[in-house]
Amino acid sequence: MLNRRQFLSGLGVSSLGHGAFASAKSIPILNQLEKIDANILFMRHALAPGFGDPNTFDVTRCSTQRNLDSRGRAQAIALGQAFKKSGVTFDAVFSSQWCRCRETAALLNMGPVQEFAGLNSFFQGYARRDQTLQKLEQRLTNLGPAGLYLMVTHQVVIQAVTQLTVASGECVAYNFQTKKAIKITVD
């Protein structure tokens, strides 16, 4: 498989969304990623009705968490299809350990999903904010700058890193070297 620079060079392009393979149909998403030379795509989990998690929350048991409903599952599948249709690929897919994030990432079908505690929600104190963000910062620092990485997570994590708010299933492109972030549309 060609790396990003080899592929783009073959297209005669000097800078395009990292980890992305271009086609005529992919221009809208790739143009959005290119605006800030994004290397991270943060995605809030798909629709999981409700607010927060029950008091009986246990990260190892989905039955104790707020989970995707049928609309959330359909939303995640549609987002994955939109990525594929656009030609966007990811060098790695990371997910919060929360079931709604893991299920979203799996339904996107964009590659093997790696659970990562640095994407866990600290909204209700089930994870510590400082520890979560420190783990995330370490991971971002250690990722290859020439890749594009998908991180399925929660509103609070995305807002803490990018200063942007997102609804369920929405995405923020982020450049971890420059700290620039923009909301993107996936359709």
Q: For residue 114, give the 3-state DSSP assignment.
A: strand
Helix spans in 70-180 (H): 70-86, 99-108, 129-142, 155-162
pLDDT tens sequence across 8-56: 333 333 333 333 333 334 447 878 899 999 999 999 999 999 988 989 9
Predicted local distance difference test score (pLDDT) of residue 30 = 76
Predicted local distance difference test score (pLDDT) of residue 11 = 33
Residue 51 backbone dihedrals phi, psi, to 5 degrees: -140, 120
CA distance 23 to 27: 7
User: pTM for the complete prediction?
Assistant: 0.85
Q: What fold, for 4-184? A: Rossmann fold (3.40.50)
- Residue 2 — pLDDT band, cuts 50, 70, 90? very low
pLDDT tens sequence across 109-167: 999 999 999 999 999 988 999 999 999 999 999 998 789 999 999 999 999 999 999 99
Query: Helix 27-34 to helix 70-86 angle, to the nearest 10 degrees?
Result: 90
For the chain, the domains span 4-184
Dihedral sign from CA coordinates of 86, 71, 127, 179: positive
